[in-house]
Amino acid sequence: MEVENSRLEIRKKINSLVKQFYELKDETFVPGQTHILTGLAVYDDLELNAIFNSVLDGWFGFSKKGEEFEREWAKYVGTRSSVLVNSGSSANFLALDGVKKLNNLKGGEIITAACSFPTTVNPIIQLGFKPHFLDVDKSLNVNPEEIISAINENTKGIMIAHTLGNPAKIAEIAKIAEERGLFLIEDCCDAVGSTYEGKNCGTFGIASTCSFYPAHNITLGEGGSIAINNPELCKIIKSLRSWGRDCFCRSDEHKELGACNKRFDYLLGGIYYDHRYVYSQIGYNLKPLELQAAMGLEQIKKIDQFNKARKRNYKIYQQELEKFDNYINLPEINPKADPVFFGLPLIVNNPDVSRQDLMKFLNSNKIATRFLFGGNLLNQPAYKNIDYLKTGELDYTNNLFKNCFWLGIHPGVTEEMIKYVISKFKEYFSKC
């Protein structure tokens, strides 16, 4: 007891020191000197202490905190369950592998966008499907009309992202999928909090994914999640995440014979075997650490506040950048959509403006910029020899490949920073 009390006292001291350490963080913005980043982990001593306490607890592998986060995340997204994994890329891979196993699919075509983050598309190739690439429209998303024209007898599903958080016409796309018996996986890595027709992105398809890498709506350092309504799919994906095991006990399972109530009664090859060591899937290990979930449990409390800051930042930029619409545009936003943008997409629309030169100017003024991921993936070296289909000439995708870039609007971006960025645009465009 005495030892436990001493350990508790030391823990309190550690927590207090961590708080002091955090409070000394200098967040002064010095125009032209402080980098304005495209993504940033926004946290305080609560997250730091959640991580430290998790480490001090001495249980590192995915367990109770991971499961608690899964319940909280499902509640937030609005699905029956969620599965926590080590990245958004793993989430995309497991979502598709799970759907493949659930529906016993052996291949076929999956409709997606050529203007994508690579790991939205990579699972399609890695899991033996053929990507069917479509163009995107001025919302940066694949639209329903294009999808209808691309569907053929080999089409099995649709796997698309809401680009940079701007919702695709996802209710219409979900309807098409349902009517044609196709599955729909929404990559919501950039679209957490965005809604369409008042409904959360991530609730329209059979599964949706998100990323918890620092640039995203909340961060666990690294991490991702799959949001699911179908209990069978959830079970398959959990199994795939955890070596392919058949056991579905929770970490707090108290029944001696496990949740299945027959832990030692599984007959394998004529031998009684422990259910914990029965493998029903060809699985992987894509689990995150408890300390990541501990951080996530603090971050999730702040998500509404973070999303509000993103929306505020987008709105200020939107109002200010209208003045420069002879040079740059923002994407179109569907009237049914209420986006929480991941970044601020800018499309150079004037042949006299060089995107490269503008980005160099911004970067030299400490304003970080990013490309729209792979732009047109078909121009990327990794995709040179893949087996694929495309519908149309991907004209707008190629325009984005050539002319689009984005800036940070995460909650660490302040109004003062935006004012500075706008002043730099003014300076640059005054010389055009």
Q: Which residue is nearest to ligand PLP (CB)?
A: 88
Give the nearer residue to ligand PLP in terms of CB position, either 69 or 327.
Answer: 69
Q: Are 390 and 114 in contact (CB under 8 A)?
A: yes
Q: For ligand PLP, give the closer residue by CB, 213 or 327.
A: 213
Widest CA span in the chain: 81
CB atoms within 10 A of CB 422: 17
Question: Which of 189, 400 has the CB closer to ligand PLP?
Answer: 189
- Residue 265: CB minimum distance to ligand PLP, A: 40
Cβ 121 vs Cβ 161: under 8 Å: no
- CA atoms within 13 Å, Cβ hemisphere of 409: 24
Q: What are the residues whose beta carbons fall under 8 Å from the beta carbon of 264, sequence distance 6 or more? A: 257, 272, 273, 274, 275
Which is closer to ligand PLP, CB of 120 or CB of 307? 120
Could you tell me which residues come within 8 angstroms of residue 106 by beta carbon, excluding any fewer than 6 positions away? 128
Give, as one character, the DSSP assignment of residue 381: G
Which residues are near ligand PLP by CB under 6 A? 87-89, 92, 117, 119-120, 161, 187, 189-190, 211, 213, 224
Euclidean distance between the first and the last CA atom of the chain, given in angstroms as a whole number: 74
Question: How far lies 250's CA from each of 47, 148, 282, 340, 346, in Å?
Answer: 25, 42, 21, 34, 46
Which lies closer to ligand PLP via its Cβ, residue 135 or residue 187?
Answer: 187
Structure tokens at 48: 């730091």
Q: Which of 35, 132, 162, 216 is catalytic?
A: 216
Minimum CB separation of residue 78 from ligand PLP in Å reads 20
User: Which of 110, 119, 197 is closest to 159 using CA atoms?
Assistant: 110
Sign of the Cα torsion 233, 239, 240, 242 reads: positive
Q: Determine the 3-state secondary structure of 130 from DSSP.
A: strand
> Which backbone phi and psi does 330 adopt, to 5 degrees?
-95, 165
Burial class (CB in 10 A: 0-12, 13-18, 19+), 260: middle
Smallest distance, ligand PLP to C-beta of residue 117, A:
4
Q: Give me the least distance between CB of 210 and ligand PLP, in Å please.
A: 8
Q: Which is nearer to ligand PLP, 134 or 247 (CB)?
A: 134
Choose between 123 and 283: whose C-beta lies nearer to ligand PLP: 123
In angstroms and rounded to an integer, the radius of gyration of the C-alpha atoms of the chain is: 23
- Can you name the residues that pair with 160 across neighbouring β-strands? 186
Name residue, tokens 């010095």: 30
Residue 216: active-site member:
yes
Under 8 Å between Cβ of 212 and 220? yes
* Nearer of residues 112 and 329 to ligand PLP, judged by Cβ: 112
Residue 195 CA from chain centroid, whole number:
15
Minimum CB separation of residue 284 from ligand PLP in Å reads 14
**Residues designated catalytic:** 216
